[in-house]
Amino acid sequence: MSVTEPLMIKPMRQRMEEQKQYIADQMGHELYAKVLRILQLHKQNDSDSSDIQETLKPIMGKNRKMKDLCFALEMLVWKEE
């Protein structure tokens, strides 16, 4: 990329889909689908973050990477329309 080329910024929807795909690849697609369903249900019910953490605790365990992935996915779900 040269200095004179304009910086291309991807649309928000595309960036969110790419982030979801990365999370799915890291978690495994089956687990990703399960966590996504849980988060979508909590969003529909307008659940408190402590309720969400309690539900995801058995999935996350003490694995820091899994916690980070769940949190990142939670943020993406809440950004969706």
pLDDT band at 10 (very low <50, low <70, confident <90, very high): confident
pLDDT digits (tens, 9 = 90+) for 16-73: 999 999 999 999 999 999 999 999 999 999 999 899 989 999 988 899 999 999 999 9
| Tally of domains in the chain | 1
Is 55 inside a domain boundary?
yes
Q: What pLDDT is stored for residue 41 in this prediction?
A: 94
Report the alpha-carbon distance of residue 77 to residue 49 in Å, rounded.
13
Is 2 inside a domain boundary?
no
Is 60 inside a domain boundary?
yes
Is 4 inside a domain boundary?
no
Is 56 inside a domain boundary?
yes
Report the alpha-carbon distance of residue 25 to residue 30 in Å, rounded.
10
pLDDT band at 1 (very low <50, low <70, confident <90, very high): low
Is 28 inside a domain boundary?
yes
Tell me: pLDDT of 4 over 80: no
Q: What pLDDT is stored for residue 49 in this prediction?
A: 87
Residue 40: give the domain boundaries.
Answer: 12-79
Is 46 inside a domain boundary?
yes
